[in-house]
Structure 1
Amino acid sequence: MARDERIETRHGPEHVAIIMDGNGRWAQRRGRPRLFGHQAGAKRVRDIVEACPDLGVKYLTIFAFSTENWKRTQAEVAGLMSLFRRYIEREARALFDSGVRVRFIGDRLKLEPKLVTLMDELELLTSGNDLVHLTIAINYGGRDEVTRAAQRLAYEIEQGRLTPKDVDAETLARFLDTRVLPDPDLVIRTSGEARISNFLLWQSAYAEYEFIDTLWPDFTRDEFARVLAGFAARDRRFGAVKA
């Protein structure tokens, strides 16, 4: 994007989280299997990540696979896991060369070892990058994350390294998957659905939400820019009242 085409980003969101919904419906409308839509959605991720620096977005978190998605057909789940492996293998070098730092959040214990190894390797490869921080949520659920954080916190108390009086919101946040990330300023959900689907429940307490009708594979850089511009016009008070 040329300099004179860039949107005003002084008041734009630093951290955007996206629920990438609508891949299956996008494919079905074209008479194709659902996995075809997921493949198109994976390509769209690259476009949006590449747009982030010009749009002033430092942190981008995307919801790739939820703890509830295991309920889908075995064929679709297997196809998604294969797609995740191929995405990492194909995009690793491009992400590194583009200055993107990649992190994964979610419970890795249920994921296949090959995928976890690729995730670990990509995190290590890009650990020195700082242009864009891309966080990919796989086998992630907000309630599951808070539960796991509470378990780790309880263990620290059991070991005597913390006391119950030490526990407050900031303490619990240090045990979340996102502990090194700022909270999202804006959460976008594509495909016309108006729900948060157990995504970043703790972190999004004061996030702005934008629910758009566009299916994820059709979500362009230009539409992303328009959503960010709309965010910049919002009055965010965080519970306070202007004098």
Structure 2
Amino acid sequence: MRQQIAAANWKMNLTYVEGQQLLNDILAENVEPKDNHAVIFGIPFPYLMMANEKVNTLKNLYVAAQNCSNKKSGAYTGEVSVGMLKSLNLKYCIIGHSERREYFNETNLELSEKLDLLLGAGMKPIFCCGEPLSIREEGSQNAYVEKQLKESLFHLSAEDMKKVVIAYEPIWAIGTGKTATTAQAQEIHAYIRSVIANQYGAEVADMVPILYGGSVKANNAKELFACPDVDGGLVGGASLVAMDFVEIIRALK
């Protein structure tokens, strides 16, 4: 079975003390991920060391940065390099989140550069893709997501592609009042896997975890994760509530 992943994305939330307490509350539930599971905490930069110290001795629990620079080093005030993240012994980094694309104008080319730096450092990218409402309404979501994948990922070797985690975000269903059905989630996840298979073959495509990032909650996680091509979730708001995130972890296949 492919790796099944519950990834928390705290975004720009919580003070240092609140972040410590949230992690303590989750860990107090004695979550013990199975061998094919990974629980990943996407933490704001100032809290990465604190979080990593709490989980780095625990089986299948990891910390991820929420972003990285596409530059190795230099005069880029306020940026954080892959080398800096690697020096903290981090294993994962989220890149290409819809908020980064929309608010900070990140391009597919920039994301391909970030991918290369992360993979070159032995880190695993969690690569986000997904379409806005206007694209979904005109029915061109498949072509839109395929373009994101091709322009950012398809220069990779097959071996490097196996190291990438993909997170599909239906941007049109996040905070809009619209809801994506489990059938819609499975449909686009299966399509993403078919695009990877066309480029790299079925064996590689079957190894790539594809997470769902559309308002995963404690009460819908089990149904979503039961879909054959949904390999867990990239969780926003629900990851800030300890017991909600614990329930989402327990819903993994």
Same fold by TM-score, threshold 0.5 exceeded?
no
What TM-score, normalized to structure 2? Answer: 0.36
What TM-score, normalized to structure 1? Answer: 0.37
Larger RCO, structures 1/2 (Cα 8 Å, 6+ apart): 1
